Amino acid sequence: MTTTVSGIRTLVLNASYEPIAVVDVGRAVVLVLTEKAVVVEPGELVLHSPSVTLTAPSVIQLCRYVRIPYRAHVPVTNRGVLVRDGYRCVYCRRARATTVDHVVPRSRGGAHKDWDNVRAACRTCNHRKGDRLLSELGWPEPAPVAAPSPRSWLVVGVARVESVWTPYLQGWTGLEAVPA
């Protein structure tokens, strides 16, 4: 069986339906073939081998509940910040954000790994702000944000979210409409 179908990803649900991971489709197929998981949403792509024809699953569910170790901190990623802030610039509140800005610049002692210190920003605002503090610019401080909850965030924080996944993420991530 060819399991190196690059770029195709499968959402993995715990037995409780909680989204817990995004894996390469090859790994998802192995989980299904070894009866560790069942297909919840079949995908469109069909995988062939001499003995098996299988639809590459978009969403699978583990047959047994897997206890996920609690993680105190979700690592900060640029994509995670952009998703959290809805791809909207926190400074001008209009432009589409494509960059991540440190509210307190790193050169001024601002933390990089602190979710509250990293915000989505458009290129224009990011460039205008440069290494200055908001107080020096007269820009209002953005509302404080807490770090995302550790579990389901891992799914949306690290992977491109497929539209077929959206119903399975609702209620778990607090993000009802995640931009693709």
- Positions that interact with Zn ion (CB under 5 A): 89, 91-92, 95, 122, 125
Nearer to Zn ion, 59 or 90 (CB): 90
Nearer to Zn ion, 20 or 121 (CB): 121
Q: How far is the CB of 131 from Zn ion (least distance, A)?
A: 17
Nearer to Zn ion, 9 or 129 (CB): 129
Instruction: Compute φ and ψ for 62, nearest 5 degrees.
Output: -65, 140
Q: How far is the CB of 49 from Zn ion (least distance, A)?
A: 50
- Give the C-alpha separation, 15 to 118, whole Å: 34
Q: Are strands 9-13 and 53-62 parallel, antiparallel or unpaired?
A: parallel
Nearer to Zn ion, 92 or 104 (CB): 92
Q: How far is the CB of 2 from Zn ion (least distance, A)?
A: 45
Q: Are strands 99-102 and 118-121 parallel, antiparallel or unpaired?
A: antiparallel
Q: How far is the CB of 89 from Zn ion (least distance, A)?
A: 3
Nearer to Zn ion, 122 or 154 (CB): 122
Q: How far is the CB of 173 from Zn ion (least distance, A)?
A: 25
Q: Give the dihedral of Cα atoms 36, 55, 12, 30; nearest 10 deg.
A: 40
Instruction: Compute φ and ψ for 128, nearest 5 degrees.
Output: -65, -35
Q: Cα dist. 13→16, 18, 25, 34, 175 in Å?
A: 7, 5, 14, 16, 17
- Give the C-alpha separation, 153 to 156, whole Å: 5
